[in-house]
Amino acid sequence: MIIRPRHVRGAGSRVAAAAATATAIVATAALLSACAAGQDPAVPVPASTEAGRSGAVAVIASGLRTPWSIVFDGDTALVSERDSARVLELTRDGGMHELGVASGTLHGGEGGLLGLALRGSALYAYVTSAGDNRVVRFRLTGTPGARSMGTPTTIIDGLPRAANHNGGRIAFGPDGMLYVTVGDAGDAASAQDPESLGGKILRLTPDGGIPPDNPFPGSPVFSLGHRNPQGLGWDRDGRLFASEFGQHTWDELNLIEAGGNYGWPLAEGIAHRAGFIDPLQQWAPSDASPSGIAVVGEAIYIANLRGERLRRVLLDDLSASTEELVGVFGRLRDVAPAPDGALWLLTSNTDGRGDPVADDDRVVRIAP
DSSP string, 67-90: EEEEEEETTEEEEEETTT-EEEEE
- C-alpha 194 chain-centroid distance: 24
CA distance 76 to 8: 31
Q: Residues 6 or more apart from 217 whose CB is under 8 A from it?
A: none
For 99-136, give the DSSP string.
Answer: EEE-TT---BTTBSEEEEEEETTEEEEEEE-SS-EEEE
Instruction: Provide the CATH number for the domain around residue 188.
Output: 2.120.10.30
Containing H/E element for 32? strand 30-32
3-state secondary structure of 287: helix
Cβ neighbourhood burial of 14 (10 Å; 0-12, 13-18, 19+): exposed
10-residue mean pLDDT series, the chain (368 residues): 38 30 31 32 43 78 97 96 97 90 95 98 97 98 91 97 97 98 98 97 98 98 98 98 96 98 98 98 97 97 98 97 97 97 97 96 96
Q: Find out whether 181 and 240 touch, Cβ atoms under 8 Å.
A: no
pLDDT for the residue numbered 44: 44
Question: How far lies 289's CA from each of 189, 261, 310, in Å?
Answer: 21, 21, 11
| Strand partners of residue 240 | 234, 256
Domain count, the chain: 1
| Strand partners of residue 229 | 244
pLDDT for the residue numbered 7: 38
CA distance 228 to 133: 14
Is 22 domain-assigned? Answer: no
Is 1 domain-assigned? Answer: no
Is 53 domain-assigned? Answer: no
Is 40 domain-assigned? Answer: no
Domain hosting residue 165, numbered range = 59-366
Total Cβ atoms within 10 A of residue 333: 24
Going by the DSSP 8-state scheme, the letter that residue 350 receives in this structure is T
Q: Find out whether 1 and 13 touch, Cβ atoms under 8 Å.
A: no
For 159-204, give the DSSP string.
Answer: E---SS-----EEE-TTS-EEEEE--TT-GGGGG-TT--TTEEEEE
Q: Name the residue type at position 251.
A: D
Say what the pTM is: 0.88
Closest CA to 276 of 261, 266, 264: 261
Is 174 domain-assigned? Answer: yes
Q: How far apart are the first and last CA of the chain?
A: 19
Is 42 domain-assigned? Answer: no
Is 121 domain-assigned? Answer: yes
